[in-house]
Amino acid sequence: MPGPDPSDTEIDLLRYVQMTPYPFAKVEDVDEHTTVGYKQTRNRLDELVDAGDLNVRKVGNVNLYWLSDNGSARLRDN
């Protein structure tokens, strides 16, 4: 059974990543702004990585996300 339909758009998620006071965001940083749970937020961030809009690096047990050039361009265009 699929989860709830997310009302946060991809652009919203990119903005949430950009809004962090650091040059990167953890899932928790983005999740506090979304209308869905932690797992779906993580999955959607990973989809943005696959689409080339975010970069990711695992540090210890934590994934750190930041905007790629493509993601930055999408935000500028919106």
Q: What is the CATH number of the domain that holds 15?
A: 1.10.10.10
In a domain, 60, yes or no: yes
What confidence score (pLDDT) does residue 1 get? 40
Q: Is the dihedral of CA 54, 19, 4, 28 positive or negative?
A: positive
Q: Name the DSSP class of 78.
A: -
| 3: in domain | no
Does 5 fall in a domain? no
Domain limits for position 22: 10-77
Residue 20 maps to a domain: yes
The predicted-structure confidence for 58-67, as pLDDT tens digits, reads as follows 999 999 999 9
Q: Convert the pLDDT of each residue in 9-41 to its tens digit.
A: 999 999 999 999 999 999 999 999 998 899 999
Q: Report whether pLDDT(5) > 80.
A: no
Task: Say if 1 falls within a structural domain.
Answer: no
Determine the longest span between alpha carbons in the chain, in angstroms: 36
Answer whether residue 4 is part of any domain: no
Residue spans of alpha helices (H) in the chain: 10-19, 27-31, 38-50, 69-77
Strand partners, 72: none
In the chain, how many domains are there? Answer: 1
Q: What is the pTM of this model?
A: 0.88
